[in-house]
Structure 1
Amino acid sequence: MSLFVAKKLVIYRSAMVALIIAGITWVILIIAPLELFSVSYLDLPKREERKAG
C-alpha cells in the first residue's frame, strides 16, 4: 500500500469516526430529552385522572 493511499484511509476513517460521534451526541443531547419530555407530557392527563379518582 502506498503512503498516499494510507493517508487517504486515515483521513476517511477520521471523518467517519467524527460523524459517528456527532450522531451519538445528537441523539443523547437532542433527541433523547425530547422523547422523554413527550412521554411525560403525554402521561400528564393520566396522572390528573388518578388524582381526581
Structure 2
Amino acid sequence: MTAPQSSDQRAPLGQRLLDRPFLLLVAGLVVMFGFYTLWGLYEILTLPKAILP
C-alpha cells in the first residue's frame, strides 16, 4: 500500500485547473466565442466585391 501524501505537497497544476468545473465552462465559452467571432470577421473581410447590375 502506498503512503498518503503529506499535506505540504500540492496537487499538479493540471489537476488543480481540471478540478474547477466553472473555470472550464467559462474557458470553453470564451474559446468558442473568440474562435467563431474571428472566423466570421475573416470571412466577411475576405468576401469578394459583389457585381451589381
Deviations 1:32-53 (A, max 9, x none): x223xx26xx5xxxxxxxxxxx
Unpaired segments ≥5 residues, structure 2:
1-18
RMSD in angstroms over aligned alpha carbons? 1.8
CA distance in 2, matches of 1:34, 1:12: 33
Unpaired segments ≥5 residues, structure 1:
43-53
Deviations 1:1-53 (A, max 9, x none): x71011110011000000100110010112xx223xx26xx5xxxxxxxxxxx
Q: Tell me the TM-score normalised to structure 2 length.
A: 0.54
From the two aligned structures, give the one with the greater helix fraction: 1
SS at match of 1:27: helix
Larger RCO of the pair (alpha carbons < 8 Å, separation 6+): 2
SS at match of 1:34: coil
Is 1:21 aligned to residue 38 of structure 2?
Answer: yes
Q: Tell me the TM-score normalised to structure 1 length.
A: 0.54
